[in-house]
Amino acid sequence: MAIFKGAGVAIVTPFRESGDVNYDVLARMIDFQIENGTDAIIICGTTGESSTLSHEEHDECIRFTVEHVAGRVPVVAGTGSNCTAEAVRLSVHAEQSGADALLCVTPYYNKASQKGLIEYYTEIANSVSIPIIMYNVPSRTGCNILPETAVRLAKTVPNIVAIKEASGNISQVAKLASLANGCIDIYSGNDDQIVPLMSLGGIGVISVLSNVAPKLTHDMAAAYLEGDLKTAMDLQLQSIPLINALFSDVNPIPVKTAMNQMGWNVGGLRSPLCEMDEDKAQILKSQLQAMHLM
């Protein structure tokens, strides 16, 4: 059974002016997402600035999210690392905190071989009993999960059940879907490829766009799952200018800027991320206005 179908939000981590995590705003964001149809909350992913959270903050963000969601939708915790032992520690803690599933990115910087990836994911999976979504994002990690590797893991490790595909390579996704023949659930990791990836058998998206447009993103995926391909395609195409603006700088710089423009007060970014250029921020604001989101 799938962890979720439809649109899961890769939720941002809001900060106070002091730099601490703002749990009051995080609670309001979670409620807003669920009220607007979001099908899962993904906490402490790339968009949540997980790489600059302390171990204590990472653990607490997961615990808080599970507690606040209170079973309304699945909670997927980001627990990947460039250190396998740390990924195991994070994963065990997330399971103990009540997370429904884990999102484990490939080891970044290390550039693991395919053999190394198999060992990495197998060790994490053997440390927990909850399902795991592998996260393939070569542009950020320098490491690509080949289709053959993903299928081998899905067929030999019982709780590796899905992959978030953010390679941007539709041909690779097509090969993965063909080799898998249904043995692994595929989620889009790119908002501009939700419908294209679902046309190859994907069951949804783990989305940055959902932070600012949860209903639109949910409706797009839901329409496709319900067989209303025209509506899904129309929503995908309508959202492309906003998606382009949301990725006009390094994620999550634009999406946090957009949320602040919308009045969410999610705070700033942790170094080495920095504020986006004003001209890009103005384009982003105009796209939010065009979509009637502010």
Closest by Cα among 193, 185, 200, 253 to 217: 193
Whole-model pTM above 0.85?
A: yes
By the 8 A CB rule, do 140 and 247 touch?
A: no
What is the rounded distance in angstroms from the CA atom of residue 29 to the CA atom of residue 205? 18
pLDDT tens-digit map of 222-273: 999 999 999 999 999 999 999 999 999 999 999 999 999 999 999 999 999 9
* Confidence at residue 293, expressed as pLDDT on a 0 to 100 scale: 97
Q: Which of 121, 135, 187, 224 is catalytic?
A: 135
Out of 120, 121, 164, 224, the active site residue is 164
Catalytic annotation on 135?
Answer: yes
Residue 230 among the catalytic residues: no
Residue 48, SS3 per DSSP: helix
- Over its C-alpha atoms, the chain yields an Rg (Å, rounded) of 18
The pLDDT score that the predictor gives to residue 1 is 84
Tell me which residue has tokens 């065990």. Answer: 92
The span from the CA of 75 to the CA of 98, in Å, is: 8
Strands (E), the chain: 6-10, 40-43, 75-78, 101-105, 132-136, 160-165, 185-188, 204-207
Spatial CA neighbour of 145 closest among 88, 181, 186: 186
Strand partners, 78: 103
Q: Which residues of the chain have pLDDT under 50?
A: none
**What pLDDT shows up at residue 111?**
87
